[in-house]
């Protein structure tokens, strides 16, 4: 936690110093008031000096006013610093997560990353806020209180020797048990978020499979688990706080008891007894605040640890130190796989092995293969979502690992297998590819993607709202919008990962015809399950269990490739296949 605080509080040194000064002023004022009070009793009331009472009373009033002002400003600035700190940490986390590749995201899990950026930051931010408003003054009040108590009456101060260690003992015992529980609580909040996320994103599957009860139970379990631990922590503190109060009340009684003897024997003026009581109250109250802080600190420390874990994770896929920069004239439009092997992190077996082929400029290269044969994995290596474990993937003749990722990404238009839309409007989604695109260009892209008709029918046309994840358009419409989005970007290389699967056959063929007509110069890599989609490709790469088992045109493969023939004849009749 210290490291995190040191880094992210640095910009706030000036307001922090101000808060400290204000708190110091406040603490000194608090320590001064009982002394004035004692003066009024000892020198004013006892001696019947009205003038002294009024003068000292006015001073007390002034000190109180100053105190009030100081604490208002202290809280104001403390809050500003704490909130600013929280904002900075959140944006640092967000920035870091943006650099993560799939590997790191999967390592933490999206749910945990969300908790870390919200709840965990909140915990640390609360500690900072409490620290700046109460914690800093606690030690001043404790030490100052002890000094003032000693000045007021030394023998009576002996009581502190009993009370303070007793409190220390109780605090120590509580903390030893509470810290591990707080760690468990944060992990359990993660779990709840994870179940919640899965339920929300899989809501249709859950209903269709009549698993609503099952999911509700899963949530209940996670929720109960958190409940149990939280209850245990609260039970612990439920015992602690009355214990503290009891210690506090017993000490007051003891002060009155022994103090009365000393006043009676004339060893101590009565005003000092009042002052002493007030100091005792201040000291023990400060200790209680400190305890309250101790409830927050371990929790904050756990959260800070979880935040650091994310901030300290270096993405496995990074831009090279000195990337090769290519000009627009170098856009060869080629994608080459050179003896590529790929193994998912932690997996025993490679998913792809010995993949070599080139997608030439202006040509359509199709990739077919049974489900799970590694087609999407292969496509993901081109934009560096993952890096090949052996061999190399080259875009425009350069190893993608030697280029800046922005550069690689600007060269390709990816239409992922799971079409994803952002919340906003049709237009904002399409302009994701190119912010400066005109409405005409958007309509043009929609026309090629066969999306013009349905967008025209949507209320608002280009300005029609799209909800989160694109849930208010159909699967096929979503695919066409995500194709149009890539078209707006106008890259030299298109990667279609099964992007036509949700289209009916005639839309599919119209779309492909439009693509061929409009994007003659672009390189296209099309992954598909449907033979009809890829039959006319310039070159077809046949995949089976992570290997390339054949490359050629439809005719060539049909003649001599067993795997390809199997795929074809499972979908088409012999007559259709050779047509």
Ligand X SMILES: Nc1ncnc2c1ncn2[C@@H]1O[C@H](COP(=O)(O)OP(=O)(O)OP(=O)(O)O)[C@@H](O)[C@H]1O
- By a kind-dependent CB cut-off of 5 to 8 A, residue 344 interacts, out of Mg ion, ligand X, none, with ligand X
Separation CA 128–CA 434 (nearest Å): 42
- By a kind-dependent CB cut-off of 5 to 8 A, residue 104 interacts, out of Mg ion, ligand X, none, with none
Cα separation values, 316 from 385, 387, 393, 461, 481, Å: 10, 9, 17, 42, 32
Q: Which range touches ligand X (CB under 6 A), out of 52-60, 370-378, 399-407, 563-571?
A: 370-378
Would you count residue 457 as binding ligand X (CB under 6 A)?
no
Would you count residue 376 as binding ligand X (CB under 6 A)?
yes
Would you count residue 313 as binding ligand X (CB under 6 A)?
no
- Give least dist CB 197 to ligand X, A: 17
Would you count residue 265 as binding ligand X (CB under 6 A)?
no
Q: Shortest CA distance to 511 belongs to which of 447, 442, 427?
A: 447
- Give least dist CB 182 to Mg ion, A: 42
- Give least dist CB 93 to ligand X, A: 23
- By a kind-dependent CB cut-off of 5 to 8 A, residue 349 interacts, out of Mg ion, ligand X, none, with none
- Three-state DSSP at 577 gives helix
Choice from 121, 277, 351, 483 touching ligand X (CB under 6 A): 351
Q: Which is nearer to Mg ion, 119 or 417 (CB)?
A: 417
Would you count residue 509 as binding Mg ion (CB under 5 A)?
no
- Three-state DSSP at 350 gives coil
Q: Which are the contacts of 186, defined by CB distance < 8 A and separation ≥ 6?
A: 115, 119, 120, 123, 299, 302, 303, 306
Q: Which is nearer to ligand X, 152 or 373 (CB)?
A: 373
- Give least dist CB 345 to ligand X, A: 8
Say how many residues touch Mg ion, by CB under 5 A: 2
Choice from 115, 272, 377, 482 touching ligand X (CB under 6 A): 377
Say how many residues touch ligand X, by CB under 6 A: 13
| Contacts to ligand X from residues 471-510, by CB under 6 A | 498
Half-sphere exposure of 358 (CA within 13 A, CB side): 11
- Phi, psi of 48, deg, nearest 5: 70, 30
Q: Shortest CA distance to 193 belongs to which of 70, 77, 128, 108?
A: 108
Separation CA 43–CA 196 (nearest Å): 68
Letters for 387-426 (x = contact with ligand X by CB under 6 A, - = none) are ------------------------------x---------
Which secondary structure element, helix H or strand E, spans residue 367, and what is its range?
A: strand 364-369
Q: Which range touches Mg ion (CB under 5 A), out of 334-342, 374-382, 475-483, 530-538?
A: 374-382
Would you count residue 417 as binding Mg ion (CB under 5 A)?
yes
Q: Which are the contacts of 67, defined by CB distance < 8 A and separation ≥ 6?
A: 25, 26, 29, 30, 33
Q: Shortest CA distance to 412 belongs to which of 446, 371, 381?
A: 381
Q: Which is nearer to Mg ion, 281 or 417 (CB)?
A: 417
- Give least dist CB 296 to Mg ion, A: 47
DSSP string computed for 403-465: S-HHHHHHHEEEE-SS----SEEHHHHHTTS-TT--HHHHHHHHHHTT-HHHHHHSTTGGG-E
Q: Which range touches ligand X (CB under 6 A), out of 41-49, 202-210, 224-232, 343-351?
A: 343-351
- By a kind-dependent CB cut-off of 5 to 8 A, residue 413 interacts, out of ligand X, Mg ion, none, with none
Separation CA 266–CA 271 (nearest Å): 12
Choice from 372, 397, 460, 465 touching ligand X (CB under 6 A): 372
- Cβ-count burial of 207 within 10 angstroms (0-12 exposed, 13-18 middle, 19+ buried)? exposed
Would you count residue 501 as binding Mg ion (CB under 5 A)?
no
Cα separation values, 191 from 111, 187, 226, 515, Å: 8, 6, 9, 45
Separation CA 48–CA 46 (nearest Å): 6
Would you count residue 348 as binding ligand X (CB under 6 A)?
no
- Give least dist CB 103 to Mg ion, A: 18
- Give least dist CB 501 to ligand X, A: 9
- Give least dist CB 513 to Mg ion, A: 24
Would you count residue 376 as binding Mg ion (CB under 5 A)?
yes
Separation CA 223–CA 215 (nearest Å): 12
- By a kind-dependent CB cut-off of 5 to 8 A, residue 374 interacts, out of Mg ion, ligand X, none, with ligand X
Using CB under 6 A, list all residues that contact ligand X.
344, 347, 351, 369, 371-377, 417, 498
Using CB under 5 A, list all residues that contact Mg ion.
376, 417
């Amino acid at each position: 936690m210290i490291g995190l605080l040191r880094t992210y509080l640095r910009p706030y040194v000036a307001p922090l110093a101000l808060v400290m000064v204000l708190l110091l002023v406040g603490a000194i004022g608090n320590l001064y008031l009982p002394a004035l009070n004692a003066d009024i009793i000892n020198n004013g009331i006892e001696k019947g000096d009205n003038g002294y009472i009024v003068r000292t009373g006015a001073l007390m009033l002034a000190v109180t006013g100053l105190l009030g002002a100081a604490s208002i400003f202290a809280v104001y600035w403390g809050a500003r610093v704490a909130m600013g700190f929280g904002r900075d940490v959140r944006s640092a986390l967000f920035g870091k997560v943006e650099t993560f590749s799939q590997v790191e995201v999967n390592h933490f899990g999206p749910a945990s990353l969300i908790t870390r950026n919200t709840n965990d930051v909140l915990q640390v931010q609360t500690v900072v806020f409490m620290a700046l408003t109460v914690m800093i003054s606690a030690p001043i009040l404790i030490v100052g209180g002890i000094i003032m108590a000693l000045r007021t009456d030394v023998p009576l101060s002996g009581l502190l020797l009993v009370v303070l260690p007793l409190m220390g003992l109780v605090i120590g015992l509580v903390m030893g048990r509470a810290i591990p529980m707080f760690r468990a609580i944060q992990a359990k909040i993660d779990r709840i978020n994870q179940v919640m996320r899965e339920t929300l994103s899989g809501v249709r599957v859950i209903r269709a499979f009549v698993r609503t009860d099952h999911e509700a139970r899963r949530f209940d379990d996670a929720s109960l688990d958190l409940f149990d631990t939280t209850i245990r922590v609260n039970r612990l503190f439920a015992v602690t706080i009355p214990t503290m109060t009891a210690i506090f009340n017993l000490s007051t009684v003891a002060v009155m008891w022994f103090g009365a003897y000393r006043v009676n024997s004339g060893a101590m003026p009565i005003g000092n007894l009042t002052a002493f009581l007030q100091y005792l109250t201040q000291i023990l109250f400060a200790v209680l605040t400190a305890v309250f802080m101790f409830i927050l600190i371990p929790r904050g420390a756990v959260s800070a640890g979880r935040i650091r874990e994310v901030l300290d994770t270096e993405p496995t896929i990074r831009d090279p130190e000195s990337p090769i920069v290519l000009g627009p004239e170098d856009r060869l439009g080629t994608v080459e796989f050179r003896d590529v092997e790929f193994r998912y992190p932690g997996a025993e077996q490679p998913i792809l092995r010995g993949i070599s082929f080139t997608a030439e400029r202006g040509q359509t290269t199709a990739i077919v293969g049974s489900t799970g044969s590694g087609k999407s994995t292969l496509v993901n290596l081109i934009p560096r979502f993952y890096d090949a474990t052996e061999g190399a993937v080259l875009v425009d003749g350069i190893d993608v690992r030697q280029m800046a990722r922005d550069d690689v990404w600007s060269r390709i238009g990816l239409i992922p297998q799971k079409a994803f839309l952002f919340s906003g409007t049709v237009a904002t989604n399409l302009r994701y590819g190119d912010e400066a695109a005109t409405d005409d260009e958007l309509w043009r892209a929609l026309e090629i993607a066969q999306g013009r008709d349905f967008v025209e029918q949507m209320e608002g046309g280009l300005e029609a709202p799209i909800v989160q994840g694109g849930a208010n358009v159909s699967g096929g419409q979503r695919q066409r919008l995500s194709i149009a989005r890539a078209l707006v970007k106008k890259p030299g290389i298109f990667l279609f990962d099964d992007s036509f699967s949700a289209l009916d056959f005639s839309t599919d063929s119209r779309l492909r015809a439009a693509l061929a007509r409009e994007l003659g110069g672009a390189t296209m890599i099309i992954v598909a399950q449907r033979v009809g989609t890829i039959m006319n490709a310039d070159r077809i790469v046949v995949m089976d269990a992570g290997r390339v088992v054949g490359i050629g045109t439809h005719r060539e493969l049909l003649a001599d490739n067993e795997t390809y023939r199997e795929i074809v004849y499972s979908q088409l009749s012999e007559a259709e296949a050779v047509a």
